[in-house]
Chains A and B, each alone.
Chain A
Amino acid sequence: MNDREVRDWMRKLSRNVDTAPDARDEALLDELLKSEPQLAMAHAVRQLPEDEPSLVWRSETNHKILEAGIRQRQPRSPWVWRSALGLGLAGALAAVTLLSGPATIPSAAEPHDVEARIMRAHREALNARLVADRGLLVQESKPTLSTAWREFQWQEADLGL
């Protein structure tokens, strides 16, 4: 390749830094990367002094690594447990409310029981009244007329007959 062709080739290469070169270009690159100017640049870069991190930096790094280790060793963070506990309590409370709630509220689920209670209460009240009256049941007592009734039973004389 002459100079002009090399320049064109380098321009093409610089426009495509994100794409891999084809086999021909790669072979040319292998050759050029070993050229003296390229090696001189590599040599210069290698000679640059090494940076030394400060002791403060190192100490901070150790501290952060230890912190990260402690965080990872904890099985779960406390906030996870706290929310889980809160959710559990709320669920238990909801279950208790739902299960015990309907028993205290009258419902149509037991109509016979209510009717039976009303009937029983009625009979007891009736019996109590009968017993308290004359100490006999209705069936046991002979029909008698009260004084007041007798007063209203007109005699023939009363009628002038």
Chain B
Amino acid sequence: MELCLNMNFRPSSQLDATAELALIERCRKQDAEAFTRIVDAYQHRLFGFVRRMVPDPEEAADLAQETFVRAFQSISRFDGRSSVRTWLFRIAYNLCVDRSRRAGRAPAEMRLDAFFEDEEGMDLPDARWDPQGVVMDEELRSTLERAIAAMSEKLRSVLLLHDREDMSYEEIARALGIPIGTVKSRLFLARAFLQRALTPYLLGEVRSHE
């Protein structure tokens, strides 16, 4: 299966709440065509999430497909308490976790306590980091992708849902079935992990500009 990676950010076409509800009603009557419009709206976001959760691109493509098929099959159980987006990402996350369990692969987790034992590698929040100063180039992109792939599924899922999918803490808590406080601590640790991975690159960049 071919994966086309587009370097240009292209936001997915979002449906407004009313249109989404109308589509869901049609989907409940097994209207597959209505469901393909939901796929249109979420395919890019969901595909990107699963692709970063699962290292093998072909497996990721299959899981993203499976997510939509499962959602369509169980649309009658969608109660509307969460948004369609939250519901889709919850299905996708569960499929990713199941896949890891089935394969007998504990997610490639790095022991965080060991990671933070290393005093040298601990980067405490300080004023040297300017959010707008981070300029994405190919090298930074690949360093960042590697760092995201290296962190545990628990941290990665929260990081991607919050910082890429713009989900609120409450939405993430619902999607992953964890308390809001846990969402916050995982997000903090995930960013700290990235910070450590990017420090050599960013500090090198700063020095080269000076």
- Residues on A lying within 8 angstroms of B by beta carbon are 3, 6-7, 10-11, 13-21, 25-26, 29-30, 32-33, 35-54, 56-58, 60-62, 64-66, 68-69, 72-73
Contacts and interface: CB of A to CB of B under 8 A. Distances in A.
16 contacts: A15-B113, A20-B181, A44-B194, A45-B160, A48-B136, A48-B144, A49-B8, A51-B4, A52-B5, A54-B2, A56-B2, A57-B1, A64-B65, A66-B32, A68-B72, A68-B73
Contacts of B128: 37
B163 A41 contact: yes
A29 B61 CA distance: 35
A67 to B, nearest CB: 8
A13 B163 contact: no
Nearest to A54: B2
Contacts of A29: 181, 184-185, 188
B187 A33 contact: yes
B52 to A, nearest CB: 8
Contacts of B45: 50
B155 interface: yes
B144 A44 contact: yes
B205 to A, nearest CB: 12
Given A17-B112, A57-B1, A47 B10 contact: no
Contact of B117 (A6, A11, A49, A62): A11
A7 B124 contact: yes
Nearest to B46: A53
A17 B68 contact: no
